[in-house]
Amino acid sequence: MTVGVDLGQPQTQEVRADEDVVRVRQLVRAVAVAVKLSLVDQTKLVTAASELARNTLVYGGGGTVDVMTADNGRRRGVRIVFADSGPGIADLDLALTDGYTTGGGLGLGLSGARRLVDEFEIDTAAGQGTRITVTKWSR
């Protein structure tokens, strides 16, 4: 899993079960290493991916994670898209508050993941599923 990542195109990992969250972490790690993120940035990105992939599974009822490289002309990075067609998030501000949870967790998944990446976009509405895109750039 750590060798032979095809950086040319997005890698997709289905998230249907617990073990898939582990696979997402391994895939993100492999791409982050290939793009030469620093060790701390790799760690932050993989941790954020772990939180968001778990959300996809637990709250979204499963979905897909796409991992790809990004290039803004100056820097390379890793972009990850988490998509599910679950119930969506009705109150986004509330969901992004530290400590808020509907699932019995610590309520740090969304808010914490946002702090760990450089760019964080969320597209969701009640009944419409959730799509989160995060990017981490090399320094």
Q: Which residues would be at the binding site for another protein (CB under 8 A)?
A: 18-19, 21-22, 25-26, 29, 39-40, 42-44, 46-47, 50-51, 54, 98, 105-106, 108-109, 111-113, 115-116
Q: How far is the CB of 54 from another protein (least distance, A)?
A: 7
Q: How far is the CB of 64 from another protein (least distance, A)?
A: 18
- Sign of the CA dihedral with 127 first, then 80, 50, and 47 last: negative
Say how far apart CA 135 and CA 71 lie, in whole Å. Answer: 10
Q: How far is the CB of 33 from another protein (least distance, A)?
A: 11
| 55 vs 124, beta carbon nearer another protein | 55
- Amino acid symbol at 126: A
Contact 81, 119 (CB under 8 A): no
* CB-based contacts of 58, cutoff 8 Å, min separation 6: 103, 105
Q: How far is the CB of 83 from another protein (least distance, A)?
A: 20
| 11 vs 50, beta carbon nearer another protein | 50
| 98 vs 119, beta carbon nearer another protein | 98
Smallest CA-to-CA distance from 96 within 51, 33, 32 is with 51
Tokens representing 71 are 């290039």
Q: At residue 123, what are phi and psi to the nearest 5 degrees?
A: -130, 110
| 49 vs 125, beta carbon nearer another protein | 49
